[in-house]
Amino acid sequence: MNILVDEKTTVRNTPSINLNLNVRGLKTSATLAINELSAELLAEGRDIIKFGFGQSPFPVAAPVVEALQENAYQKDYLPVKGLYALRETIAEYHCRKHGIKRKAENVVIGPGSKELMFLVQLAYYGDLVIPTPSWVSYAPQAQIIG
C-alpha cells in the first residue's frame, strides 16, 4: 500500500509478514542442499550424475514419450480423490492379495507419498510416528503442522 504525502512524496507502507512459528528455524531440506551442491560442482566443470531430487539423468524411454504424445489432449484436472477406475482397481487388488476389503470410495490417490503424508498429518490430530529411514521431509512436515 502506498500513502501519498504530497504531490512529490509517496511513502511505501508495506504490511508486516508474520511467519508461522512452526516454520521458523526449519533447516534446509537435505534434497535441496544436495541439489544446490551438485549445481555448484557442475558449474565448476565436475562430472556429476544428479539423483538428489529423484530425477533420473537418463532420457525418457521412447514408449513413455509416445504414450505421453498420444495422451497430450487429456489435459483436464482429475477428480480430487483420483480416477475412480484406478481407485477401484487398487481396492480390488488389496482385497484379492491381502484380504483387506475396502470400497473404491475409501481409496485416495495422490501425486506422491510426501503430499499424502502431509495431508494425513493435517487431517488427523494425535501422536505421529515417523518410521526411519524415511523421506527427509516427513519430520519437518510434522514440525510445520505442530
Each domain of the chain, given as residue ranges in start order, spans 1-76, 80-109, 111-146
pLDDT at 30: 81
Assign 61 a pLDDT band (cuts: 50, 70, 90).
very high
Determine the average pLDDT of the residues in 92-114. Answer: 93
Confidence (pTM): 0.57
pLDDT at 118: 87
| Residue found under cell 498420444 | 70
What is the C-alpha to C-alpha distance for residues 46 and 52, in angstroms, rounded to an integer? 16
What is the C-alpha to C-alpha distance for residues 60 and 128, in angstroms, rounded to an integer? 37
Q: Per residue in 2-41, pLDDT tens?
A: 565 566 666 666 667 777 777 777 888 888 888 889 899 9
Is residue 105 over pLDDT 60? yes
Looking at every residue in the chain, the average pLDDT score rounds to 85
Is residue 87 over pLDDT 70? yes
Assign 42 a pLDDT band (cuts: 50, 70, 90).
very high
Determine the average pLDDT of the residues in 113-127. Answer: 85
pLDDT at 64: 97
Decide if 52 contacts 34 (C-beta within 8 A): yes
